[in-house]
Structure 1
């Protein structure tokens, strides 16, 4: 496999702004989080205009109503003296701004993709690294109670740890949950969907390619395994391309945003309700509520990791034919 010149990667990094101070990993486990999504909830103005607004309101207490967890390691030195080829620049953050009871399943996925165990117990203060996986920076906000007021849109995210994690990395991938809404002009009837957005077009295409490689695509041969993967339309309300979206506030000024439908996330867990249940049944399940957890969980986590690996090598994979996304709404 031919690798692109390391010069292009180094040049883009050198032109970016200096990063914020490094922060340590904070404790938090989300053990009391429950799945509380309402598929019929209408869109409404958010109660808090920013994370700071939420944190300082006094209405919701940290450790009782919400927790945040993150890891921000040392910024990688960008140096390469290998003549035949270029090594990968391991610098991609994984984000889950609405985890826990807001967009259930995104917390567990965030840790797994970042290379850490999602099965830590209630007393865990640091997720264990999974042997053989590249450990990556991550940031997540988790709701411990069922209240949609805890949802702060990504363009208004001003959490200092979140901004430090993004500014510390060249690339970023954020995980979200959404509920599809049929568009008469472009109906997508499949309940299991992935909507790919953001400002990093190469990363978006690499993700679309990887999902296809791992069988997350429309499957006429087995509808139970079918997933509609879509590139977000420019006019979509959740296409993730706003420069203020914190996933795009990386050292390269761009990232990728993945919106996962509720039914797709539900299919990844044997028991979807309750954080402890999700941790225990991710990708394995109990055979009662769903039957293809391994296909959806492993397919998604492995695809995102593969896409990031390819992206960090400077490669560009061709995305399979994809429909432009129908308009969608948050839970």
Structure 2
């Protein structure tokens, strides 16, 4: 049986704390992506100093775990859900991040579906308009909390928004990342829920296979990324505005969230999810 030791967890935490974006020998490229205004999250935070809470926000939750027993070990977090371009950048991904992590987006109360809760991290655009300028590509994300959370997780599910043109279809989700097992489970659950999908291999620019992609900077060196079309995201909310989305999720939202949560629950029973 393949397993992951607690020493590996501590090593991952140390690497994240000491090196920031350098994880597993992979550094985020110094130059910004062609369409990005900022080189990295650190660059954005520096240039927009004093604007947090007005132009952008960061939200995350790390659940507390205590192990004070000499004779037995307690469970550790396995999965983190992320929305790197939430709020009004890639609309709907914040709410999906909270839902898949196990929380109601409007009240942040836990969802009672038997699958528990997961850690989450999100960056959100709060500007009244033009939030696309806040986009920092996933391979350049060097937020220290986000990086350390990915590094100390076996799995990351990263949520993104894309256009219909980019995905090659309207109501579809592109399933990417380097964890093929995770991708298979997600695709199976999407099929069962009647949600259209395409494999990342069919849409290379949305495949999320770079080792520098935050979804793949996990303890296992692989994760999953979902690129969700604007049409599919819009259909999940009865009031598709930043103020209205959290309180107007509908059956389409529940179906998508449920599919992802079931896939994560199944993944976490696999042999490589055992932490000694």
Divergent runs of 4+, >3 A = 13-17, 20-23, 74-77
SS of equivalent to 1:56:
helix
Q: Is 1:262 aligned to residue 239 of structure 2? A: no
Q: Is 1:278 aligned to residue 234 of structure 2? A: no
Quote the Cα distance in structure 2 between the aligned partners of 1:75 and 1:210.
29
Q: Is 1:105 aligned to residue 99 of structure 2? A: no
Question: 2:125 is matched with which residue?
Answer: 143
Match of 2:48 among 43, 58, 68: 58
SS of equivalent to 1:279:
coil
Match of 1:163 among 144, 147, 152: 147
Quote the Cα distance in structure 1 between the aligned partners of 2:229 and 2:50.
27
Q: Structure 1, residues 86-123: CA drift from partner, whole Å, max 9, x if none?
A: xx975110000000110000000100110112003xxx
Question: 2:37 is matched with which residue?
Answer: 47
Quote the Cα distance in structure 1 between the aligned partners of 2:15 and 2:34.
35
Q: How does 1:130-209 map to 2 (within 5 A)?
A: 130-132=111-113, 133-145=115-127, 146-147=129-130, 148-181=132-165, 188=168, 190-209=169-188
Task: Tell me: CA distance 1:90–1:54, structure 2 relative to 1, closer, same or farther (3 Å).
Answer: closer
Q: How does 1:291-330 map to 2 (within 5 A)?
A: 294=251, 296-314=252-270
Q: Which has the higher helix share?
A: 2
Question: 1:10 is matched with which residue?
Answer: 4
Q: Structure 1, residues 264-309: CA drift from partner, whole Å, max 9, x if none?
A: 000111121x2221112111xxxxxxxxxx1x21211000001001
Q: Structure 1, residues 21-43: CA drift from partner, whole Å, max 9, x if none?
A: 999xxxxxxxxxxxxxxxxxxx9
Query: Which protein is bigger by CA-based radius of gyration?
Result: 1
Note if contact 1:191-1:263 (Cα within 8 Å) is conserved in structure 2.
Answer: yes
Say what the alpha-carbon RMSD is for the aligned residues: 3.1
Match of 2:57 among 58, 63, 67: 67
Structure 2 unmatched runs, 5+ = 18-32
Using structure 1 for the length normalisation, give the TM-score. Answer: 0.68
Note if contact 1:171-1:255 (Cα within 8 Å) is conserved in structure 2.
Answer: yes
SS of equivalent to 2:205:
coil
Structure 1 unmatched runs, 5+ = 1-6, 24-42, 82-87, 121-126, 217-226, 284-293, 317-331
